[in-house]
Amino acid sequence: MLTAQGLEVVYRDVLIGLRGVSLQVRTGTIVAVLGSNGAGKTTMLRALTGLLDVHKGKVTKGSVDFEGTRLDRMDASAIVRAGIGQVMEGRRIFPALTVDENLRTGAYTVRSKAKIRENYDRVLELFPKLVDRRTSTAGYLSGGEQQMVAIGRALMSSPRLLLLDEPSLGLAPLIVEQITGIIREVNAQGTSVVLVEQNATMALSLADHGYILENGRVVKDGPAADLLADKDIQEFYLGVGDAGRKSFRDVKTYRRRKRWSS
Amino acid sequence: MTEFLQLMVSGVSLGFTYALVALGFVIIYKATEVINFSQGGLVMIGAYLVYNFTSTWGLPFALSVVLGMLATAGIGLIFERIILRRMVGAPVFAQVMITIGLLFILQNLVTAIWGPDPLNLGDPWGVSTVTFGEVVIQVRQLWGMGLTLFVLLLFFLFFRFTPLGLAMRATAIDQEAALAQGMSSKRVYMAAWGIAGATAALAGVSIASGAASLSPEVQFYALLAFPAIILGGIDSPLGAVIGGLVIGITQSLTAGYIGDIAPWLGAGFESVMPFVVMVLVLLVRPYGLFGTPEIKRV
More confident residue, B263 or B297: B263
The widest CA-to-CA distance across chain A, in whole angstroms, is 73
Do A74 and A246 contact (CB within 8 A), yes or no? no
In this prediction, does ipTM exceed 0.90? no
Beta-carbon pairs below 8 A across chains A and B: 78
Å from A139 to nearest chain B CA?
6
Q: Is residue B129 part of a domain?
A: no
* Chain A (59-88) residues lying within 8 Å, Cβ to Cβ, of chain B: 75-77, 79-81, 86, 88
The CATH number of the domain where B33 resides is what? Answer: 1.10.3470
| pLDDT over 60 at B26, yes or no | yes
The CA distance from B180 to B13, in Å, is 43
B74-133, pLDDT tens digit by residue? 999 999 999 988 887 788 889 889 999 999 999 999 999 999 888 888 888 877 888 888
Q: Answer whether B238 touches A (CB < 8 Å).
A: no
Inform me whether the C-beta atom of residue B175 falls under 8 Å from chain A C-beta atoms: yes
The answer to the question of residue B259 being in a domain is: yes
- A222's enclosing H/E stretch is strand A217-223
pLDDT 10s digits, B176-216 = 999 999 998 889 999 999 999 999 999 999 888 877 688 88
pLDDT band at B264 (very low <50, low <70, confident <90, very high): confident
Look up the domain containing B247 and give its range.
Answer: 2-123+134-284
Residue A248 confidence class, pLDDT cut points 50, 70, 90: low
Burial A107-135 (b: 16+ CB within 10 A, else e): bbbbeeeeebeebbebbbebbeebeebee
pLDDT at residue A262 in the model: 43
| Nearest residue in chain B measured CA to CA from A106 | B181
Please give the angle made by the CA atoms of B293, B296 and B171, to the nearest 5 degrees. 70
pLDDT at B30: 85
According to the model, what pLDDT value does residue A125 have?
93
A48 touches chain B (CB under 8 A): no
Mean pLDDT for A213-240 is 85
Instruction: Give residue-wise pLDDT tens across range A21-77.
Output: 999 999 999 999 998 888 899 999 999 999 998 888 999 999 999 998 998 888 899
Query: Comparing C-alpha atoms, which of A13, A4, A29 is closest to residue A223?
Result: A29
- Which homologous superfamily is A1-83+159-240 in? P-loop containing nucleotide triphosphate hydrolases (3.40.50.300)
- Position B166 scores a pLDDT of 92
In a domain, B193, yes or no: yes
Confidence at residue A134, expressed as pLDDT on a 0 to 100 scale: 93
Q: Which of A11, A99, A105 is the best mutation test for B, with the most CBs of B within 10 A?
A: A105
Concatenated DSSP letters for A34-53? E--TTSSHHHHHHHHHT-TG
State whether residue B297 sits within 8 Å of chain A by CB. yes
Which are the contacts of A26, defined by CB distance < 8 A and separation ≥ 6? A1, A192, A208, A209
CA nearest neighbour of B189 among B82, B274, B91, B47: B82
Supply φ then ψ for residue B17, to 5 degrees: -65, -45
* DSSP string covering A74-105: S-HHHHHHHTEEEE-TT----TTSBHHHHHHH
Domain membership of residue B74 (yes or no) is: yes
Q: How far apart are the first and last CA of chain A?
A: 53
pLDDT beyond 80 at B15 = yes
Q: Report CB contact under 8 Å: B181, A106.
A: yes
Determine the Cα–Cα distance for residues B112 and B44; give it in Å rounded to an integer: 13
Conformational region of residue A244, where left means phi above 0, alpha means psi within -120 to 50, and beta covers everything else: left
Query: Mean pLDDT, to the nearest integer, of B278-294?
Result: 81
Chain B environment of A93 (Cβ under 8 Å): 177
**Per-residue DSSP letter, B88:** T
Cα separation, B258 vs A99, in Å, equals 50
Q: End-to-end alpha-carbon separation of chain B, Å? A: 49
**Nearest chain A CA: its distance from B32 CA (Å):** 14
* Cβ pair A182, A174 in contact under 8 A: no
What percentage of chain B has pLDDT greater than the value 90?
41
- Which amino acid makes up residue B252? S
In a domain, B294, yes or no: no
Domain ranges of chain A: 1-83+159-240, 92-158
B291 is a domain residue: no
- Compute the distance between CA of residue B257 and CA of residue B274 in angstroms, rounded to an integer: 15
Three-class secondary structure of residue B35 per DSSP: coil
Over residues B288-296, the mean pLDDT reads 71
pLDDT of residue A246: 59
Neighbours of A85 (CB within 10 A): 27
Three-class SS state of A241: coil
What is the 8-class DSSP label of residue A193? E
Q: B53-80, pLDDT tens digit by residue?
A: 998 898 999 999 999 999 999 999 999 9
Q: Is B169 on the interface with A (CB under 8 A)?
A: yes
* Residues of chain B positioned with their CB less than 8 A from the CB of A96: 169, 173, 292, 295
> Facing residues of A3 across strands?
A24, A65
Ordered strands of the A2-11 beta sheet: A15-25, A2-11, A57-66, A69-70
Nearest to B178 by CA among A98, A104, A82: A104
Residue B296 lies in a domain: no
Distances (CA, A) of B98 to A49, B28, B80, B83, B101: 33, 14, 11, 8, 5
Q: How many domains is chain B partitioned into structurally?
A: 1
DSSP at A163:
E
To the nearest whole angstrom, how far is the Cα of A251 from the nearest Cα of chain B?
Answer: 41
- Give the pLDDT mean for A199-225: 91
Output the pLDDT for position B209: 85
Mean pLDDT estimate for chain A = 88
Q: Which strands make up the sheet holding A30-34, listed edge to edge?
A: A84-87, A161-165, A192-197, A30-34, A209-214, A217-223
Residue A250 has a pLDDT of 62
Residue A137 pairs in a beta bridge with: A98
Nearest CA in chain B to A96: B295
% of residues, chain A, pLDDT over 70: 91
Confidence of residue A199 (pLDDT cuts 50, 70, 90): confident
Give the least confident one: A136-150, A159-173, A225-239, B25-39.
A225-239
Kindly state whether residue B141 falls inside one of the protein's structural domains: yes
- Least Cα separation, residue B5 to chain A (angstroms): 39
Dihedral sign of CA atoms B50, B56, B61, B66 in order: negative
Between B162 and A256, where is the model more confident? B162
User: For position A259, what pLDDT does the model report?
Assistant: 56
